[in-house]
A and B are shown apart, each in its own frame.
Chain A
Amino acid sequence: MDYFGDPAVWLPWTFASLMGLSILIYVVLDGFDLGVGLLMPLADDQEKDKLVSSIGPFWDANETWLVLAIGLLLVAFPPAHGVILTALYLPVFVMLLGLILRGVSFELRAKAPIAQKRIWNGAFFTGSLMASLSQGFMLGMYIMGLTWTLPHVAFAALTALFLTVGYSFIGAAWLIWKTSDKLQKRAITWAKGGIWGLFLGIGAVSFATPFVSERIFDRWFNYPEILYLSPLPIISGALVVFLWWSLSRLPLKNDRFSWTPFAAAVGLFTLAYCGMAYSFYPYVVPEQMTIYEAASAPESLFIILLGTLFVLPAILGYTALSYYIFRGKATELRYD
């Protein structure tokens, strides 16, 4: 294991990358299915079933990426796991309650008597809202260094709002891809209504991040670093312009390009995320603990890495298979 240099350096780096990748995949995948949950109150009863069936086969696996991400934090950076999660005790609790409510409503809305369906639809929306808001709140608190002061909480409240709108946007973009006719047209309207949240959210985070610490400020605005970073805002800006343009033209004949808003939204989330990762590296707890300080013993990390190298491609493979099997427009969820 010394072939690649000091394992106490490259192993933490590798695990930070894997964890980062899991969080990104989680944010995109559960982002769209939380977003679809957020759009529930806007849909009529029949459309609600369509909304749920568009994410039915996927939500479970999507949430597993959260378990993997938090698992990697737990196993690769145990002290950081403790510091971050105790600092975020209450928002984590709200998120968990939200995820619980949402997950069970998924099943219960379809299996309970019709009269109770409204209650579980409501719980599905409420759970999605709780999870989205608290994730956005945690994002804000994390950027601000996990200290509970009034300005930090205020900033976190803003990111909570923006991420929630951002999720509803990517949810709407998913629906544009996976639905047709009237519902698709409505999803286009919803997406137009949500794009500002994504824009403001990315803007607010980008604006605030360099002022959190001098280190990040230098990394952003010093020459030549500013050159490395410049593609991010430029491509992001282009994607927003493209989204605005394409949303005003969709749907096209034969449903051409209905996948583009979703793809563009994924691109935006990814770019914003890369920007954050670039800013905070090498810290896992902002300005307090680096990935190298927090890492587990190299022997244990190596054991995990070994398995990951074999299993992760398989996971990605059969996840892709599942999306392939359920490709095309969403159909009614049936067990037979």
Chain B
Amino acid sequence: MHFVARACAGKFATYITANKITIPNDTELTVDTLLLSRIQFGANISFHILFPTITIALGWVLLFFKLRFSATGDSKWMDAYMFWVKVFALSFAMGVVSGITMSFQFGTNWPGFMETVGNVAGPLLAYEVLTAFFLEAVFLGIMLFGASKVKPWVHTLATFLVAFGTTMSTFWIIILNSWMHTPQGYELRDGVVFATDWFDIIFNPSMPYRFVHMLLASALTVAFLIAGISALRMLWGDKSESVRSALRVGIIAGAGLIPLQILAGDLHGLNTLEHQPAKVAAMEGNWETRSNVPLVLFTIPDQETRSNKFELSIPNGASLILTHKSDGVVPGLNDFVTADGEVQHPRVAPVFFSFRIMIGTGMAMLGLSWGGLVLLRKYGAGAMPKLSLYAFCAMSFSGWIATLAGWYTTEIGRQPWLVQGVLATKDAVSDVPAGMVLSTLIGYLIIYGILIAAYIFVITYLARKATRGEPYSTRDYPRSGEAEVYALQAGE
């Protein structure tokens, strides 16, 4: 056993040396600019991801509502569509404007990123703009405001293209992000990355896992949002067909998807173990490479003493999950410290805790959606026990928490690298004075705080308004085959 452990330790040590690019010990920059720039980018991307997480899946849900309406002619589906399209429009606008911010921050704060890996990142970002952004943005206009101006099938097509566009956007950006974790298909010439094989770049080892994990995260976020807001409307006394159907869709989708997400997450974790062992070591709070590693449920990882305090753990748990053997060897953080004491693994506590928050939220989602499914079968959507409705309300934005926690785990877990083994984060930051970064950071935080509050407030306000039965529309909804009548009415 010791032999295996030592062999593995050796393997991980080789991993470091093999991938080690010189990280200068002292840059002229103060840590402040680096840290503040990281916090600022983190704040921006955290704010941004909230909205695509909703729109990616909600686009498809809207298409589903629209198609159900076309097929059945039941106006409850159109009511559901009309309510959720507003949430979509609002989320989309928030996503667009916060996304524009990102594209500028590459230049204002992280010029080293594009200067080093621009030959790979550039085409991927360009394809995202060309194949996704314009598609979404143009057809969004038709989807939102064009129903009275185009034939129903064109409107349905526009809805499809918007949903397709959001998914394409996810595809391209996930390729780039995954490549930053598991880069391949490139060569370094004079410290600059050149693409050698685009197939390898696009299908880099972590891409399929991350893509599926993110799509499912979006779907779950939307499922719980729909269930939660529908539950809220029921608690306010809205028992309409449309709310009941939406609650049913939310619960069933949540219950069906969460096991898939757990499976996808597990596979993603195994992939990370193979390619980014330091991240897994931080996620598990494991300091020494060894066999029979326990699953640490709670601890306070102390990076100064390089040990855990107040550890509560299940024997052999981590070995079992990660290697499917109770005496399997799990990498430890101490392997990622070079001989001269330079730490090449992420800060442990944020990775450790955000991972647990993600898992915890996922477990709560599993419990609630399956419990909800049982209640749904027993009582029907119209007579769900009040307590369960409160629970769904409370979990309305649980998808956001899990998604953010998951992203923190994987992104902080990649540190000190910006591109694993290729570019260190501190080498990419711009030399803008710390004071300037601090002032823009404060500005962003204030406006993001206000906007998050306004967003949640307006969604609940829309739900309140819908509950009071204020009509979405003064005329009947058109359906395919009724275009003529419809065109006449549109002339008003």
Query: A residues near B, CB below 8 A?
Result: 56-58, 60-61, 63-64, 66-68, 70-76, 78-79, 81-86, 88-90, 92-93, 96-97, 99-104, 106-108, 111-113, 296-297, 299-300, 303-304, 307-308, 311-312, 315, 318-319, 321-322, 325-326, 333-336
Contacts and interface: CB of A to CB of B under 8 A. Distances in A.
Contact of B134 (A64, A75, A326): A64
B43 to A, nearest CB: 13
B140 interface: yes
Could you tell me the dominant secondary structure of chain B's interface residues? helix
Contact of A315 (B119, B130, B147, B443): B130
A180 B134 CA distance: 30
Contacts of B436: 89-90
A97 B47 CA distance: 14
B86 A111 contact: yes
Contacts of A318: 134-135, 138-139
A235 B458 CA distance: 50
Contacts of B480: none
27 contacts: A56-B141, A57-B145, A63-B96, A67-B103, A67-B133, A74-B122, A75-B123, A90-B436, A92-B104, A96-B100, A96-B101, A100-B98, A100-B101, A111-B90, A297-B119, A297-B195, A299-B119, A299-B194, A300-B118, A304-B122, A325-B142, A325-B146, A326-B145, A335-B82, A335-B86, A336-B473, A336-B477
B343 interface: no
A60 B451 contact: no
B142 A322 contact: yes
A61 B119 contact: no
A99 B97 CA distance: 6
A85 B107 contact: yes
Given A78-B114, A311-B131, A56 B145 contact: yes
A90 B443 CA distance: 11
Interface string B129-155: 111011101111110111111100000
B141 A308 contact: no
A312 B82 CA distance: 32
B458 to A, nearest CB: 5
Given A63-B96, A74-B107, A335-B82, A322 B141 contact: yes
A86 B111 CA distance: 8
A93 B106 contact: no
A70 B103 contact: yes
Nearest to A85: B107
A61 B137 CA distance: 5
Interface of B: 82, 85-86, 89-90, 92-94, 96-101, 103-104, 106-108, 111-112, 114-115, 118-123, 125-127, 129-131, 133-135, 137-142, 144-150, 194-195, 198, 430-432, 436, 440, 443-444, 447, 451, 454, 457-458, 461-462, 472-473, 475, 477
A64 B129 CA distance: 8
Given A76-B122, A336-B473, A336-B475, A68 B129 contact: yes
Given A99-B100, A113-B461, A311 B130 contact: yes
B108 A86 contact: yes
Could you tell me the dominant secondary structure of chain A's interface residues? helix
B130 A60 contact: no
Contacts of A64: 129, 133-134, 137
A111 B122 CA distance: 37
B123 A304 contact: yes
Contacts of A107: 89-90, 93-94
A108 to B, nearest CB: 6
A93 B440 contact: yes
Contact of B114 (A82, A97, A99, A308): A82
B193 to A, nearest CB: 9
A100 B451 contact: yes
B465 to A, nearest CB: 9
B90 A326 contact: no
Given A78-B118, A82-B115, A307 B126 contact: yes
A57 B146 contact: yes
B63 to A, nearest CB: 15
A61 B144 CA distance: 13
Contacts of A321: 138
Contacts of B118: 74-75, 78, 296, 300
Contact of B137 (A60, A297, A326): A60
Nearest to A81: B107
A108 B97 CA distance: 14
Q: Which 8 A-B pairs have the closest CB atoms?
A: A82-B111, A75-B122, A85-B107, A57-B141, A103-B97, A78-B118, A78-B114, A61-B137
A308 B457 CA distance: 41
Contact of A312 (B86, B130, B149, B472): B130
Contact of A299 (B126, B195, B430): B195
Nearest to A22: B129
Contacts of A304: 122-123, 126-127
Contacts of A111: 86, 90, 458, 461-462
A64 B447 CA distance: 22
Contacts of B135: 318
- Of A58, A78, A300, A322, chain B has the most CB atoms within 10 Å of the CB of A78
A303 B140 CA distance: 28
A21 B340 CA distance: 52
Nearest to A70: B103
Contacts of B440: 89-90, 93
A85 B432 CA distance: 11
Contact of B458 (A90, A97, A108): A108
Given A104-B454, A334-B145, A89 B432 contact: yes
Given A86-B108, A111-B462, A315-B134, 8 more contacts: A61-B137, A93-B443, A100-B101, A103-B97, A304-B126, A307-B130, A315-B138, A335-B147
B147 A103 contact: no
Nearest to B92: A60
A104 B453 CA distance: 12
Contact of B148 (A58, A106, A308, A336): A336
A102 B195 CA distance: 39
- Of B99, B123, B125, B127, chain A has the most CB atoms within 10 Å of the CB of B123
Contacts of A97: 443-444, 447
A307 B111 contact: no
B46 to A, nearest CB: 15
B22 to A, nearest CB: 21
B122 A104 contact: no
B59 to A, nearest CB: 14
Contacts of B146: 57, 325-326
